[in-house]
Amino acid sequence: MHSSLIGKVEKANRYSREPDRVTFESLALTFRGDNDTHRVTLQDGAWDCTCHFFASWHSCVHLLALQKMLGVMLPEDAQIELLPAERSSVAV
Ligand SMILES: [Zn+2]
């Protein structure tokens, strides 16, 4: 009993170092930026943020920061670029 419990804890420790085992299907959170607090959601691979930048660009610094925090735990279709339209127009 005790040794199997230790095994579970060891497995949990190993899993915790393997974030690619986890994929967030949806998210809802509050992001406290330098100037304001924003509400961010992820549903069906689509982001939403209440900041003004997102309203114009469908991308923003909050989503970019979350991608850096969560990395491989975000689904493929939730990976975004900052200013994707501008980047593609200067593609080489
Ligand atoms: Zn934002």
Residue pointed to by tokens 């393997």: 18
Give tens-digit pLDDT for 14-70. Answer: 999 999 999 999 999 999 999 999 999 999 889 999 999 999 999 999 999 999 999
- Residue 5 belongs to a domain: no
- Residue 6 belongs to a domain: no
- Residue 9 belongs to a domain: no
- Residue 17 belongs to a domain: no
- Residue 15 belongs to a domain: no
- Residue 7 belongs to a domain: no
Tell me the pLDDT band of 89, cut-offs 50, 70 and 90: very low
Q: What total of structural domains would you count in the chain?
A: 1
- Choice between 83 and 81, residue whose per-residue pLDDT is larger: 81
pLDDT higher than 90, residue 92? no
Q: What is the model's pTM?
A: 0.78
> What residues have a C-beta under 5 A from ligand 1, the ion?
49, 51, 54, 60, 62
Ligand 1 midpoint to CA 4 (Å):
45
Contacts by residues 65-68 (CB-CB < 8 Å, ≥ 24 positions apart): 65/31, 66/27, 66/29, 66/31, 66/40
- Residue 18 belongs to a domain: no
The whole-number pLDDT of residue 81 equals 78
